Structure 1
Amino acid sequence: MFSPVVGARPHCRRTLLSTLLLAALSGAAGWSQSALAAGSGTAKTYNIPAGPLGKTLSTFALDAGIAVSFEPALTEGLRSDGVAGNLPARDAAARLLAGSGLEMVARADGTYTLRKLALRPDGSNAGLPAITVAAAAERSVTTEGSGSYTTRATGAATRMALSLRETPQSVSVIGRQQIADQNLMTLADVLRQTPGIVADRLDERVTFSSRGFALNTMIDGVPTLSFNTIAGESSMVSTVMYDRVEVVRGAAGLLNGVGSPGGSINLVRKRPGTEFAGHVTAGAGSWNRYNLEADLGGSLNAAGTLRGRMVASHTDGDSFIDGKQQSEDVFYGIVEADLSRDTLLSAGYEYQRTAVKGANFGQSPLFYADGSATHLPRAFNSSAPWSTWNMTTERVFVNLDQRFDSGWRLKVDAAYAKNRRERYSADLWLYPGNISPTANTGTVQVADNPADSSNKSLDVYATGPFSLFGRTHEAVAGFNINQYNYGYSNSGAVRNAFDRRPVNIFDLGAVAQPNFSYPLNQFSGNTEEKAFYGALRFKPFDALSVLIGGRLSWYENNTFQRFWTNNTNGALVTIKPVKEGEVFTPYAGIVYDINKEYSVYASYTDIFQPNTVRDASNQIIAPRRGTNTEFGIKGEHWGGKLNTSFAVFETQEDNAVETDTGAPLLPDGTVPSRAVKGARSQGFETTIAGEAATGLQLMAGYTYSSKHSNKDVLLNPTYPRRLVRVATSYRFPGSWSKLTVGGNLSYQSSIYYDETYSAKRACQGGLTLIGLMARYEFSKQLSLALNIENLTDKYYYTGLGGYNGYTYGNPRNAWLKATYRF
């Protein structure tokens, strides 16, 4: 029994008829069957508050001038976030229905009805054309424009578009609103606010870890090796190109079978909308920094079936470190074409160049030769002023997204990335510690150290519903391959040896930049990873979901070295190849709904991760293997506007690696590692994300994680065992609604490092950092925002022990940015 028809104001009938006629004449991409789709190019202002889904749909139908009928049972108990802003009707409908599991479809009589996204087993809804094409469906899960610190759905762990509550792993999503509010300009900024993540700075490089293990990187859900090299530094990645960053904590064994037990980082690109929209931003910050940004996009044809978006950004300025300047140029462009109502083709290009002058390679010394602490100035630079570190990344990608009336989806993603690094420097050499406490003399290593790499990736997968025993379930199956090549080398100003010179550590500029005439060594390699993966999500009954799946992987790595002797090209040395074939990584998860708000879950996955570091005999250490288990409870409140979670976890691993202290340096000058058998990481965490109260957005988490060897020795003592992350913003109500205030807080427990040569211990106690933000909207178009970092101006290590030294974190600093929106 259908509910009474709603909508269809008499004065709107003529407009509706005109829209239908225009659509029939245009014949654009099969949209002529849907008045709502055909009218999607005409934007309208909506201001529909959150509430029961049935009520918000009725209000929408009246505003849009259409008739919508549906079974009341379909919307019973469901809520909508509402919709506000100037939007095409199609986009407004998609936002109202986001996360409901329903879609709006056209009927033969020109009215509309609702149906479940998965077709009923009897096929009763077959043949009704959905108003949402692939592009609109993709946009419905974006965070941009939502104003929320959470998300309705993510496929970061399973490839299936599941809510956070339905995903049987720990997942945090840092969306566009939080990125903008908290001024998170790089991936390193984002991950410093992500619950459970440790960002440890070496020099210009930052490593990311969760639960004591490194994280893999994906782009739009596709694993990539383009950051697995010194030529591609993930921490420098600009956020201007991305809608959100999805972080899975714990082994992401289904999509990253050749991956880390720490989890994965998924960068999700911005997509174009149907209407022209965008913004320009100009900002000024401490240390003579400035930023210019433009982001424009919309339809490229009248029908809205061809869309584009362009993002460009330039940042430049000094640093609190003496003689250091950094600039960044970013360009991102994407074009989408609806080849049909259900077929979306996308292609795009990314470019980023980050240039650092006075760049650091290595760290500042902790101790003098006599074991006394150095107590160097905060602005001390451990590299010569002419030291350079320039990174360039270019990436092209093509995506094909095909949806079928059965509810299935086929997606193909192909990408090619090229990284280049220009690096030359004179850096303090901290092996062994030999800096005089009286004369302040030490040693610098002078070198030219360029690097390059390329990565080709392809991912093909299909996902959709299927019927079994009278119930609807979901499945995903896919294949991906990564081919990765890299090379780097060292040259110096002396023959057949590393160029190391005595220097006063407070006058590194006295070392002139030489001609790097003599090649010293060269390293190269290639890696190929390929895998088949699949999973089934069974629904034995409404309250229970069971996920089972796995990944079958093949891995091969070849490494080559060449050393120069007497300035002649030495023999090529081949490191023993690492090959692993048909490695099966199982994945299992179960989610049980206790009630309408809470679910309990458990998950299990195996670990398989080839090592890339070498032992004291210069051989690659055998792959890491182990298991990861997790149990928890998740909450979804106020229709998904707020998500909460609590989890306990344990990871067991063989062939974990640690620094082989005391062993001689390898031929390339790096420190060897050694395998650790029976490493164990365990702990618990709790998170909250979303709208905690009217106008109050919140992302917060507490994590305890401890990693020990089988002899109960603490591993990674430079990583804090306790973490608190909080980021929040509050928009005042009523006449103060133009003002938004907020901030962030980061706490970590104490860390320590035992210096290799002096055996002295460097410690840092518990650390709390506070940031503030405020934004005032002078109009719908113009706003001004202020962000302050490290409000109390704490001195702290942002990296400790990575190169036998330390790196200081940023002092108190501020950014002021003005944004004009179109």
Structure 2
Amino acid sequence: MSSLSTMALLLMLLDGTASAGDTAKHYHIPAQPLSNALLQFAEDSKLELIVKAEKLHGFNSVGLDGNMTFAQALSKLLQGSGMTYRFVDAKTVTVEQPDANFRKTANVEEVPEPQSSSDTTLPKVTVEADAETDPYDPTNTNDPYNKSYAVTNSSTSTKTDTPIMETPASIQVVPKSVMHDQQAFRLEDVIKNVSGVQTQHSFGGDYETFIMRGFKLSEANYHNGIRIPATKFDLANVERVEVLKGTSAMLYGLGDPGGFISTVTKQPSSTPYYSIEQRFGSYDHYRTEASATGPLSKEHGLNYRMDLSYLDANSFRDGIDRDRIFFAPTLSWDVTPDTKLTLMYEHFDENNSYDSGT
């Protein structure tokens, strides 16, 4: 078999005459690289074929097997390559280069030949496939396998599950995936992701206080929509932290003009999930987290969740240490498709040295 030159393919075989019309000829050209298939076609057809060789690189042809005209044969050989052909005269045909944006077909080492040499019609092919599904629903923030950073809805501003884009207020939400990836275990670690909010450390470091839009947050701590006096949380059972900027007295009553911070806890899931995590850090920092959730009774819609954490850490200053134990069991009951009853208990016990500074 002749090889292609680097610049052009020019086959001039003048034995006999050829016509681009309705003349039919029997071809048997196996599947192979397109350049070799065109060489054999030109030889069998007694045609002069002109094409730039480098334009054929990387393309394959399914071959020919059956009776067909020159035009039919060329169309089949060039199928999938984006190439077009044009008869200059009865014995000369040019193959034009494809459009620059046309995507090349994949290289195939070997393609089986058709079983019948007399039938040029391919057999019927049926392709079946299931729709590809994600391992989690990105809109379900309570899914324990959801690792998405995107949160589309929030209930803090309107006390209803409303898309953030349709909420007439400034809201920023930090989901659990961000907190996990940043290894955050204090609220002040999470608030660093929110614009317009600064941490104001209290005397001795006993509490976490914040300044939002220039106002100190004194009455602005909510936990699952309920105002609580505590300003120190453990994030082991926190699903997301929502920050509402601006006044909210119409829905929440007494509050600060700068806004408020709301923590939303993880809920029991019917999808079983278990995890344990151990962290190590500077100054003898050790933190253990564990969580478990799943169904107690699928028939009755009973689900449970247990989150716990233990912290033992020292400081760069001698004599300053911190011990914390936290656990939060939660039980939920799907009374009806639209009604859910949730019972939750949180235990937070921390012993830390009072650090008054130097």
| TM bracket, shorter-chain basis | 0.5 to 0.7
3-state SS in 1 of match to 2:154:
coil
Task: Assess if the C-alpha contact under 8 Å between 2:269 and 2:303 holds in 1.
Answer: yes
The letter for the 2-side match of 1:84 is D
| Aligned residue in 2 for 1:354 | 350
CA shift in 2, pair 1:152/1:83, >3 Å: farther
| Aligned residue in 1 for 2:199 | 199
| Aligned residue in 1 for 2:170 | 170
1:183 Cα deviation after fit: 0.9
CA shift in 2, pair 1:287/1:329, >3 Å: same
Confirm whether residue 84 of structure 1 aligns to residue 134 of structure 2: yes
3-state SS in 2 of match to 1:178:
helix
For normalisation by structure 1, the TM-score amounts to 0.26
The letter for the 1-side match of 2:209 is T
3-state SS in 1 of match to 2:250:
coil
Confirm whether residue 219 of structure 1 aligns to residue 223 of structure 2: yes
Counterpart mapping for 1:675-714 below 5 A? none
1:289 Cα deviation after fit: 1.1
Q: 1:380-424: per-residue Cα shift (whole Å, max 9, x none)?
A: xx4xxxxxxxxxxxxxxxxxxxxxxxxxxxxxxxxxxxxxxxxxx
The letter for the 2-side match of 1:360 is D
1:212 Cα deviation after fit: 0.8
Q: 1:224-251: per-residue Cα shift (whole Å, max 9, x none)?
A: 1x32xxxx3x1x3111111000001111
Match of 1:335 among 317, 331, 351: 331
CA shift in 2, pair 1:341/1:162, >3 Å: closer
- Residues of 1 paired with 2:188 and 2:238: CA distance? 14
CA shift in 2, pair 1:254/1:278, >3 Å: farther
| Aligned residue in 1 for 2:296 | 300
3-state SS in 2 of match to 1:355:
strand
| Aligned residue in 2 for 1:153 | 153
3-state SS in 2 of match to 1:254:
helix
- Residues of 1 paired with 2:133 and 2:264: CA distance? 23
1:193 Cα deviation after fit: 2.5
Task: Assess if the C-alpha contact under 8 Å between 1:333 and 1:348 holds in 2.
Answer: yes
- Residues of 1 paired with 2:200 and 2:336: CA distance? 47
Q: 1:528-580: per-residue Cα shift (whole Å, max 9, x none)?
A: xxxxxxxxxxxxxxxxxxxxxxxxxxxxxxxxxxxxxxxxxxxxxxxxxxxxx
- Residues of 2 paired with 1:355 and 1:183: CA distance? 22
3-state SS in 1 of match to 2:171:
strand
- Residues of 1 paired with 2:146 and 2:199: CA distance? 28
The letter for the 2-side match of 1:155 is S
Corresponding pairs, count: 226
Confirm whether residue 278 of structure 1 aligns to residue 328 of structure 2: no
CA shift in 2, pair 1:145/1:255, >3 Å: farther
The letter for the 1-side match of 2:195 is P
Confirm whether residue 321 of structure 1 aligns to residue 325 of structure 2: no
Counterpart mapping for 1:616-695 below 5 A? none
1:344 Cα deviation after fit: 1.1
Counterpart mapping for 1:429-508 below 5 A? none
- Residues of 1 paired with 2:300 and 2:187: CA distance? 32
The letter for the 1-side match of 2:215 is F
- Determine which structure has the larger strand proportion and give its number: 1
Q: 1:493-519: per-residue Cα shift (whole Å, max 9, x none)?
A: xxxxxxxxxxxxxxxxxxxxxxxxxxx
3-state SS in 2 of match to 1:189:
helix
3-state SS in 1 of match to 2:155:
coil
- Residues of 2 paired with 1:143 and 1:174: CA distance? 16
The letter for the 2-side match of 1:212 is G
- Residues of 1 paired with 2:141 and 2:319: CA distance? 44
The letter for the 1-side match of 2:273 is A
- Residues of 2 paired with 1:328 and 1:177: CA distance? 23
- Residues of 1 paired with 2:316 and 2:300: CA distance? 48
Counterpart mapping for 1:374-773 below 5 A? 382=358
- Residues of 2 paired with 1:168 and 1:208: CA distance? 23
- Residues of 2 paired with 1:251 and 1:146: CA distance? 32
1:283 Cα deviation after fit: 1.5
| Aligned residue in 2 for 1:255 | 251
Task: Assess if the C-alpha contact under 8 Å between 2:144 and 2:273 holds in 1.
Answer: no
CA shift in 2, pair 1:83/1:213, >3 Å: farther
The letter for the 1-side match of 2:134 is A
CA shift in 2, pair 1:83/1:332, >3 Å: farther
CA shift in 2, pair 1:164/1:302, >3 Å: closer
- Residues of 2 paired with 1:354 and 1:299: CA distance? 31
- Residues of 2 paired with 1:284 and 1:303: CA distance? 42
- Residues of 2 paired with 1:252 and 1:238: CA distance? 25
1:302 Cα deviation after fit: 4.0
3-state SS in 2 of match to 1:240:
helix
- Residues of 2 paired with 1:221 and 1:142: CA distance? 17
The letter for the 2-side match of 1:185 is F
| Aligned residue in 2 for 1:241 | 237
Task: Assess if the C-alpha contact under 8 Å between 2:143 and 2:269 holds in 1.
Answer: no
Task: Assess if the C-alpha contact under 8 Å between 1:306 and 1:338 holds in 2.
Answer: yes
1:336 Cα deviation after fit: 0.5
The letter for the 2-side match of 1:148 is S
Q: Structure 2: 5+ residue runs without aligned partners?
A: 1-128
For normalisation by structure 2, the TM-score amounts to 0.59
1:163 Cα deviation after fit: 1.7
1:143 Cα deviation after fit: 7.3
- Residues of 2 paired with 1:179 and 1:143: CA distance? 16
CA shift in 2, pair 1:148/1:141, >3 Å: closer
CA shift in 2, pair 1:284/1:149, >3 Å: same
| Aligned residue in 1 for 2:287 | 291
| Fraction of identical pairs, as percent | 27
1:304 Cα deviation after fit: 6.3
| Aligned residue in 2 for 1:210 | 212
- Residues of 1 paired with 2:199 and 2:282: CA distance? 22
Q: 1:598-631: per-residue Cα shift (whole Å, max 9, x none)?
A: xxxxxxxxxxxxxxxxxxxxxxxxxxxxxxxxxx
1:161 Cα deviation after fit: 1.7
1:217 Cα deviation after fit: 1.3
Q: Which has the larger radius of gyration?
A: 2
Task: Assess if the C-alpha contact under 8 Å between 2:244 and 2:260 holds in 1.
Answer: yes
1:190 Cα deviation after fit: 1.0
- Residues of 2 paired with 1:305 and 1:144: CA distance? 18
